[in-house]
Amino acid sequence: MTSATTHSPASVAAPAKTAAPRAKKVRGREERSTLASVALHGTLILASLVAAFPVVWIVFISLGPKTAWQSPGEVLSNLSLDNYAKVLTDTDFPQWFGASVIVAGGTTLLGVFLAASAGYAVSRMRFPGHKQLMWSFLVTQMFPMAVLIVPLYELLARFDLIDNYLGLILTYATTAVPFCAWMMKGYFDTIPHEIDEAGRVDGLTPFGTFWRLIVPLAKPGLAVTAFYSFLTAWGEVAYASQFMGADHYTLAVGIRTFATESRADWAMMTAASVLILIPATLVFLLVQRNLVSGLTAGGTKS
Amino acid sequence: MVAPVAIVLAVLVLYPLGYGFYLSLTDANEANVARDIGAFHAPATYKMVWFDNYWSVLSGADGDFYPRLIWTVIWTLSCVVLHIAIGMGLALLLNRRMRAKLLYRALLILPWAVPAFVGVFAWRLMLNSQYGVFNDMITAVGLPAQNWLATPFAQKTAVIMVNVWIGVPFNMVALLGGLQSIPKELYEAAEMDGASPWQRFVNITLPGLRPVTNTVVLLGCIWTFNMFAVIYLLLGQNTTGEADILVTFAFRKAFTGVSDYSGAATYGIVILALLLAFSTFYRRRQLKTEQA
């Protein structure tokens, strides 16, 4: 592949269909030689392999017998779903899964709602501290969990929210909402103000304008926000492991019980991992079309 | 409308932060905080030590801070540089017209959808020194098997590798969006003037991406500096301690052995101060280049 890129100077001319003759041959953006095409696809295939391999690998191992991780060669001749059956019936996995669905779902709903309304407010309204608020959203991203975790524990304990889904949802919202509000502000900035004014003229309340006119237009941004909030909650380890008791373990904490100090039960771990991946991938597939546009608006207009 | 967020943040972020700062001024640990032993309630017996904790950290007396800080900086720089470089490379490739573009994009974004702890477990399985697939691969081509997670250096390389794998998709997507927002007319004009691909990249693409790269670099630095899951989960109990960054070190301080709450809080406040200083400096510089 490297040889392909180095050996494709401009003299290996572009395909003949773009035949506008020029004195000095400079290749345009949308033309490329066959070799360059091979290099392009080669690089992307390699990168895709690197990106997908760990996922493919755990799926592969999970389909084998209990010892598959020690001898991957035996997997293909002994395909079975035994590991999945065991995880689903012999362990508390379904319970952890339910806990994670509640927590991640709650964080997503709360996160999207708070981030959208806050982002809209910062984008459209002028109030004292308006500029500082955006900065403080960014600053909350800097708070190291190590300093928050003990005080948060005590705070939640005071409101009886330890070992409680709501407590964890609120905690995750504080991580996800500032960043999401920041992105949503950028996204709302790209929606013309005339639309708000039109809504106002038609007699809608500020919230009505927001809800009926702006939210539908901001779907790509909301999709990214939902995705980000969901993943924050679905994959968080540190808070979940300190705040939740065995009855309310989330997946991130529960799956660690398959691994003891000295050894890990990889048959269970891989099967459980694949089951955990499925909802995340579904959410991802739902929003992935919107990821690019949603993220950009937030990034460029901050 | 901003009120709910402001209230939630104030209660759940500012209050713990203030409390954390207060703890950092005390000598609180597991043995002297208020706790319930059965029906008996033991009141807190820790006391104010004011800035003693900060002094012992910043003077280097605790022996851990500066080594951890140096490694944290190396870790952050290498991760962010690799994130941006690889993300930019892939975004440039994906921004071309070609076949199977959507498939490539979906596959390349995949690690982003994988929860960090699942990704880390997958890598641990692959890096296993006895049965891992990496060793199967390199022994198949005749190279000696490696103990991928044994030495401090190997552990450091491994955590960077895994974090790069997890973080590239976000950067790629952000930069891809940035590329798509650069007006095509600029490229057409440059082509008319006979600019080479390299000239077009340096004079149009890079400046056009600046708003995105500025944001991505700042967020990348903050997130990587505070990254917890990758290091904590990949190394687990087998860590030599050498690969701990400030955040994971502080977490271990607070939750292993006799929990040292005040020490962990002190580290947390120092980390926050470092990040605040960095972001302020970064934003100043950014504003300056914008005005220039």
DSSP state string for A154-219: HHHHHTT-TT-HHHHHHHHHHHHHHHHHHHHHHHHHTS-HHHHHHHHHTT--HHHHIIIIIHHHTH
Cβ atoms of B161 and B168 within 8 Å: the answer is no
| Separation CA B171–CA B166 (nearest Å) | 10
Whether pLDDT at B168 is above 90: yes
Chain B residues inside the 8 Å CB shell of A284: 109-110, 112-113
| Separation CA A245–CA A157 (nearest Å) | 13
CB-based contact, A273 to chain B, within 8 Å:
yes
- Tens-digit pLDDT profile for residues B67-110: 889 999 999 999 999 999 999 999 999 888 888 888 888 888 88
Residue of A nearest to B135 (CA): A70
Chain B residues inside the 8 Å CB shell of A39: none
Instruction: Give the pLDDT of residue A125.
Output: 77
Q: Are strands B40-42 and B35-37 parallel, antiparallel or unpaired?
A: antiparallel
Chain B residues inside the 8 Å CB shell of A175: none
CB-based contact, A67 to chain B, within 8 Å:
no
Domain ranges of chain A: 38-77, 82-295
Provide the residue count of chain B. 292
Instruction: Give the pLDDT of residue A7.
Output: 44
Arithmetic mean of pLDDT over chain B:
82
Q: Do A151 and B106 touch (CB under 8 A)?
A: no
Residue B233: which region, alpha, beta or left (left: phi > 0; alpha: psi -120 to 50)?
alpha
The number of beta carbons lying within 10 Å of the beta carbon of residue B214 is: 19
**Which among A28, A55, A148 has the least Cβ separation from residue B191?**
A28
- Compute the radius of gyration of chain B from its Cα atoms: 24
Whether pLDDT at B31 is above 70: no
Chain A residues inside the 8 Å CB shell of B121: 58, 255, 269-270, 273
- HEC states along A103-150? HHHHHHHHHHHHHHHHHHHHHHCCCCCHHHHHHHHHHHCCCCHHHHHH
CA angle A92, A96, A100 (to 5 degrees): 170
Cβ atoms of A142 and A182 within 8 Å: the answer is no
| Separation CA B251–CA B230 (nearest Å) | 13
Cβ atoms of A37 and A4 within 8 Å: the answer is no
Report the DSSP beta bridge partners of residue B36.
Answer: B41
In Å, how far is B256's CA from the nearest CA of chain A? Answer: 12
Q: What is the ipTM of this complex?
A: 0.80
Give the lowest-confidence range in A281-285, B38-42, B156-160, B215-219.
Answer: B38-42
In Å, how far is A140's CA from the nearest CA of chain B? Answer: 7
Chain B residues inside the 8 Å CB shell of A302: 211, 215
| Separation CA A53–CA A58 (nearest Å) | 9
Q: How confident is the model at residue B164 (pLDDT cuts 50, 70, 90)?
A: very high
**Residues 106-145 in A contacting B (C-alpha not used; CB under 8 Å):** 114-115, 117-118, 120-122, 125, 127, 133, 136, 138-145
Chain B residues inside the 8 Å CB shell of A174: 8-9, 12-13
| Separation CA B38–CA A86 (nearest Å) | 38
Residue of A nearest to B248 (CA): A146
Q: Do A147 and B264 touch (CB under 8 A)?
A: yes
In Å, how far is B103's CA from the nearest CA of chain A? Answer: 9
Percent of chain B at pLDDT exceeding 90? 13
Amino acid in position B151:
T
Whether pLDDT at B145 is above 90: no
For tokens 């955040």, name the residue. Answer: B247
Instruction: Give the pLDDT of residue A29.
Output: 55
Instruction: Give the pLDDT of residue A179.
Output: 84
Instruction: Give the pLDDT of residue B239.
Output: 65
Best CA proximity match to B243, nearest among B74, B46, B53:
B74
Instruction: Give the pLDDT of residue A302.
Output: 42
pLDDT greater at residue B145 or residue B164: B164
Cβ atoms of A52 and B107 within 8 Å: the answer is yes
Return per-residue pLDDT of chain A as tens, 302 residues: 344 444 444 444 444 444 444 445 555 556 677 888 888 888 999 999 889 889 988 888 888 787 777 777 777 777 778 888 888 888 888 999 999 999 999 999 998 988 888 888 888 877 777 777 777 777 887 887 777 887 888 888 888 888 888 989 988 988 888 888 888 888 888 888 888 888 888 888 878 888 888 888 888 888 888 888 998 898 888 888 888 888 888 888 888 888 766 677 888 888 888 998 888 888 888 887 777 777 766 555 44
In Å, how far is A113's CA from the nearest CA of chain B? Answer: 10
| Third-level CATH fold of A82-295 | MetI-like fold (1.10.3720)
Chain A residues inside the 8 Å CB shell of B279: 138-139, 142
**Residues 216-255 in A contacting B (C-alpha not used; CB under 8 Å):** 231, 234-238, 242, 252, 255
**CA separation, residue A187 to residues A72, A227, A295, B133 (Å):** 47, 15, 8, 43
Q: Do B169 and A71 touch (CB under 8 A)?
A: no
Report the DSSP beta bridge partners of residue B41.
Answer: B36
In Å, how far is B172's CA from the nearest CA of chain A? Answer: 9
Instruction: Give the pLDDT of residue B290.
Output: 67
Q: Which H helix or E strand runs over A55?
A: helix A34-62
In Å, how far is B114's CA from the nearest CA of chain A? Answer: 6
Q: Do A139 and B279 touch (CB under 8 A)?
A: yes
> DSSP letter at B143?
P
| Separation CA B101–CA B103 (nearest Å) | 5
Chain B residues inside the 8 Å CB shell of A146: 247, 250-251, 253-254, 264-265, 267-268, 271
C-alpha B259: how far from its chain's center?
25
**Which among A51, A235, A299 has the least Cβ separation from residue B174?**
A299
Report the DSSP beta bridge partners of residue B35.
Answer: B42
Please name the residues in contact with B18: beta carbons below 8 A apart, sequence gap of 6 or more. A151
Which of the listed ranges A115-129, B155-169, B179-193 does the model predict with the highest average pLDDT?
A: B155-169
H-only helix segments in B59-151: 65-94, 101-113, 116-127, 133-140
